[in-house]
């Protein structure tokens, strides 16, 4: 007989597990049937009616401050009307309604948006700005009709504002919308820029872009199928950029700007630079004419064709013959090569014949016999013609480079506006096919004429080097970078003193040159009318002849430092076509000294365009 056996216990458990799984699957199937078949339409409508969008919010740029912390450039908020094309596509009437509010045709509105999308490389889900800096009345109209304007946003965005308007334009530079080329270039470097972002284009705005630019924030919003905003899901506030504090003395900058306006009224553009010779800080840097950076975009075409070229930074980017201020270089070359000593006397009959050419002195009857100190003080051309001949082309060229000429200064402005100038040489003439180097080239170079080109910034730098004992400092326009987001500013980093090179002159050479510069302010010196009671100043006048658009012009040039024995400021001023240094640039420098040391001196009258003989 066959006995019946019970199933194993394990098989029973398997059957129980299978039954449980079958029940769970049945519940899931029923639930899915309910969701997709019974309530499917309801949920589909809800999903369609609610989507999310990320709206990026740009960070305000950090402020730019003068040395005392007064704002020169800030950011304010503006209202911007934008359209999200992806949200407006299902409501074509949006464009016609918005165009009516903006007093545009729908075709013009769409054309404007298409151009913005192309230029800024925007996607259909990005807000496309239609109107910026929207007035309150217009904004109210848009808000009132928001329900009928799906896809239209009104947001608050930062906009750059230049407080000082004209006096610091060439220092601050300008920040504007990023171009497609810049967008591609910067993002290749990991910049994370977006179309429509603002980027520094010139000046401090460009050099310190990484510090001034903050970190963007944004909102995640919920919108329905018609593009209407339902609510804000979450939000991240943008973080403003750091503050950049300049070394520029705001009061001195304004005084310098105002002083340059007088010759400008007569059509003479110019520039001036002041440097602290102890650390290379730029105390003032002005180029005239200037322009209001706030209206740059609107006035660009007008500025571009202006005969006086206000867009050029003349202080750093324009090369000029520097005239007699170059005699300080020739003096150093003569002394250091042993061609002369401080006691070397040279006779000046009022001219020097070189081959078949006659090179005249500024004093027609000649200065007679005079020493180096007197030659600097009286700016005798013949003396320095002869010194240049004794030194020779190669060594004079070398000493010009020792004084920083023919090279960029390294200032913390964009490199393309740091003009190296030109120190001519036989090799340069050959390369540029200007004929052979002739003896007259050396004679001209000895007094800063001919093909010599320097910038006012270079003049200020080597004047500062003579003031401090021989250190050619890298000029810097920024003092430090500060985090001003908290209750008190926190300095993140400072710009240190940096020695670019040294002049390579002995104390004896330096003293001989400075003695001549001090004598220039005494009776009989070319700068005696500019003397400041109670303060000894070391200075050098200059006048530089050049041909501009076929006309001969004499540029007014002046350099100085003060006080002579404990220098705190070094100055260079150059005014185009205005005449001799003592007549125009010298009085401007004197006014700058008066402001910087709070002396309240009466102004010395300028004689713009007067040519009478002398520097």
State the sign of the Cα–Cα–Cα–Cα dihedral 72, 77, 81, 82: positive
Contact 587, 515 (CB under 8 A): no
What number is the average pLDDT over the span 282-291? 98
pLDDT at 169 over 50: yes
Residue ranges matching CATH 3.40.710.10 in the chain: 250-300+310-596
Assign 49 a pLDDT band (cuts: 50, 70, 90).
Answer: very low
Q: Which residue has the higher pLDDT, 474 or 219?
A: 474
Lowest-pLDDT choice from 345-359, 394-408, 535-549: 535-549
pLDDT at 295 over 70: yes
Task: Say what the pLDDT of residue 13 is.
Answer: 64
Q: Using one digit for the tens of pLDDT, what is the confidence trace for 65-95?
A: 999 999 999 999 998 999 988 888 878 888 8
Share of the chain above pLDDT 90, in %: 70
Question: What phi, psi does 59 have (nearest 5°)?
Answer: -80, 140
Contact 43, 225 (CB under 8 A): no
Chain centroid, CA 285 distance in Å: 11
Topology of domain 52-246, per CATH? Penicillin-binding protein 2a (Domain 2) (3.90.1310)
Assign 269 a pLDDT band (cuts: 50, 70, 90).
Answer: very high
Instruction: Tell me how crowded residue 108 is: count the other CB atoms within 10 A of its CB.
Output: 11
Q: Using one digit for the tens of pLDDT, what is the confidence trace for 436-473?
A: 999 999 999 999 999 999 999 999 999 999 999 999 99
Assign 615 a pLDDT band (cuts: 50, 70, 90).
Answer: confident
Mention every residue, 6+ apart, whose C-beta is less than 8 A from residue 352.
358, 359, 361, 382, 385, 386, 443
As a whole number, the mean pLDDT across the chain is 90
Q: Using one digit for the tens of pLDDT, what is the confidence trace for 204-230?
A: 999 999 999 998 887 776 666 655 566
- Percentages (nearest 5) of helix, strand, coil residues in the chain: 40, 25, 35
Task: Say what the pLDDT of residue 610 is.
Answer: 66
pLDDT at 241 over 50: yes
Q: Using one digit for the tens of pLDDT, what is the confidence trace for 143-162?
A: 888 888 888 888 889 999 99
Lowest-pLDDT choice from 34-48, 61-75, 115-129, 595-609: 34-48
Task: Say what the pLDDT of residue 614 is.
Answer: 62
Task: Say what the pLDDT of residue 408 is.
Answer: 98
Task: Say what the pLDDT of residue 218 is.
Answer: 75
Rounded Cα–Cα distance for residues 373 and 294 (Å): 49
Q: Which residue has the higher pLDDT, 205 or 136?
A: 205
Assign 2 a pLDDT band (cuts: 50, 70, 90).
Answer: very low
Rounded Cα–Cα distance for residues 507 and 510 (Å): 5
Lowest-pLDDT choice from 131-140, 197-206, 252-261, 446-455: 131-140
What number is the average pLDDT over the span 105-116? 91
Rounded Cα–Cα distance for residues 462 and 453 (Å): 14
Question: What phi, psi does 604 have (nearest 5°)?
Answer: -90, 130
Question: What phi, psi does 293 have (nearest 5°)?
Answer: -65, -20
Rounded Cα–Cα distance for residues 322 and 557 (Å): 7
Rounded Cα–Cα distance for residues 168 and 545 (Å): 29
Q: Whole-model pTM?
A: 0.88
What number is the average pLDDT over the span 501-518? 97
Task: Say what the pLDDT of residue 240 is.
Answer: 94
Contact 255, 274 (CB under 8 A): no
Q: Which residue has the higher pLDDT, 549 or 38?
A: 549
Length of the chain equals: 615
Q: Which residue has the higher pLDDT, 121 or 277?
A: 277
Contact 520, 376 (CB under 8 A): yes
Rounded Cα–Cα distance for residues 586 and 527 (Å): 8
Task: Say what the pLDDT of residue 585 is.
Answer: 97
What number is the average pLDDT over the span 264-270? 95
Task: Say what the pLDDT of residue 17 is.
Answer: 64
Alpha-carbon Rg of the chain, whole angstroms? 35
Rounded Cα–Cα distance for residues 588 and 580 (Å): 13
Written out in words, the top-level CATH class of the domain with range 250-300+310-596 is alpha beta
Grouping H, G, I as helix, E, B as strand and the rest as coil, residue 470 is coil
Q: Which residue has the higher pLDDT, 276 or 230?
A: 276
Contact 293, 428 (CB under 8 A): no
Rounded Cα–Cα distance for residues 115 and 109 (Å): 10
Assign 37 a pLDDT band (cuts: 50, 70, 90).
Answer: low
Residue ranges matching CATH 3.90.1310.10 in the chain: 52-246
Rounded Cα–Cα distance for residues 478 and 494 (Å): 8
pLDDT at 423 over 70: yes
Assign 608 a pLDDT band (cuts: 50, 70, 90).
Answer: confident
Assign 1 a pLDDT band (cuts: 50, 70, 90).
Answer: very low
pLDDT at 594 over 90: yes
């Amino acid at each position: 007989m066959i006995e019946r056996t019970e199933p194993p216990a394990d098989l029973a458990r398997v059957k129980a597990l299978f039954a449980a799984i079958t029940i769970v699957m049945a519940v899931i199937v029923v639930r899915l049937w309910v969701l997709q078949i019974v309530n499917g339409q309801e949920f589909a409508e809800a999903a369609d009616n609610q989507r999310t969008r990320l709206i990026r919010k740009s960070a305000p740029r950090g402020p730019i401050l003068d040395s005392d912390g007064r704002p020169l450039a800030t950011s304010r908020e503006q209202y911007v009307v934008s359209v999200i094309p992806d949200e407006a596509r299902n409501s074509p009437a949006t464009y016609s309604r918005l165009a009516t509010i903006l007093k545009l045709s729908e075709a013009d509105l769409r054309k404007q948006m298409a151009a913005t999308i192309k230029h800024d490389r925007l996607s259909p889900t990005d807000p496309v700005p239609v109107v910026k800096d929207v007035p309150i009345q217009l904004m109210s109209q848009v808000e009132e009709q928001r329900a009928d304007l799906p896809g239209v946003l009104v947001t608050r965005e930062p906009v750059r504002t230049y407080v000082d308007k004209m006096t610091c334009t060439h220092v601050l530079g300008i920040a504007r919308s990023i171009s497609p080329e810049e967008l591609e270039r910067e993002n290749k470097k990991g910049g994370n820029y977006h179309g429509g972002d603002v980027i520094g284009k010139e000046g401090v705005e460009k050099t310190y872009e990484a510090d001034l630019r903050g970190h963007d924030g944004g909102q995640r919003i919920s919108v329905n199928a018609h593009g209407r905003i339902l609510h804000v899901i979450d939000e991240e506030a943008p973080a403003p950029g750091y503050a950049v504090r300049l070394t520029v003395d705001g009061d001195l900058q304004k005084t310098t700007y105002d002083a340059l306006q007088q010759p400008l009224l007569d059509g003479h553009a110019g520039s001036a630079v002041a440097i602290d010779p102890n650390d290379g800080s730029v105390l003032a840097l002005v180029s005239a004419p200037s322009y209001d950076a706030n209206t740059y975009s609107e006035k660009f075409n007008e500025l571009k064709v202006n005969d006086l070229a206000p867009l050029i930074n003349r202080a750093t980017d324009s090369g000029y013959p520097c005239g007699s201020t170059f005699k300080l270089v020739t003096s150093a070359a003569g002394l250091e090569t042993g061609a002369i000593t401080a006691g070397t006397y040279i006779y000046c009959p009022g001219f020097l014949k070189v081959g078949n050419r006659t090179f005249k002195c500024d004093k027609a009857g000649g200065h007679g016999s005079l020493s180096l100190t007197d030659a600097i003080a009286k700016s005798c051309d013949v003396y320095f013609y002869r010194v240049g001949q004794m030194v020779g082309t190669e060594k004079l060229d070398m000493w010009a480079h020792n004084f920083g000429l023919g090279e960029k200064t390294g200032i913390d402005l964009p490199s393309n506006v740091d003009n190296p100038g030109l120190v001519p040489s036989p090799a340069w003439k050959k390369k540029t096919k200007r004929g052979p180097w002739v003896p007259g080239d050396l004679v001209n170079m000895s007094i800063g004429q001919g093909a010599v080109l320097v910038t006012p910034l270079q003049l200020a730098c080597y004047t500062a080097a003579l003031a401090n004992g021989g250190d050619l400092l890298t000029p810097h326009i920024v003092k430090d970078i500060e985090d001003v987001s908290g209750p008190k500013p926190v300095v993140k980093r400072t710009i240190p003193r940096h020695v670019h090179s040294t002049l390579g002159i002995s104390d004896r050479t330096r003293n001989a040159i400075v003695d001549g510069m001090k004598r220039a302010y005494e009776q009989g010196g070319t700068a005696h009318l500019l003397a400041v009671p109670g303060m000894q100043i070391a200075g050098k006048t200059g006048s530089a002849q050049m041909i501009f658009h076929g006309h001969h012009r004499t540029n007014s040039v002046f350099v100085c430092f003060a006080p002579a024995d404990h220098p705190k400021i070094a100055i260079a001023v150059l005014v185009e076509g205005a005449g001799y240094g003592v007549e125009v640039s010298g009085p401007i420098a004197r006014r700058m000294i008066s402001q910087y040391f709070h002396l309240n001196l009466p102004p010395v009258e300028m004689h713009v365009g007067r040519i009478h003989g002398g520097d």
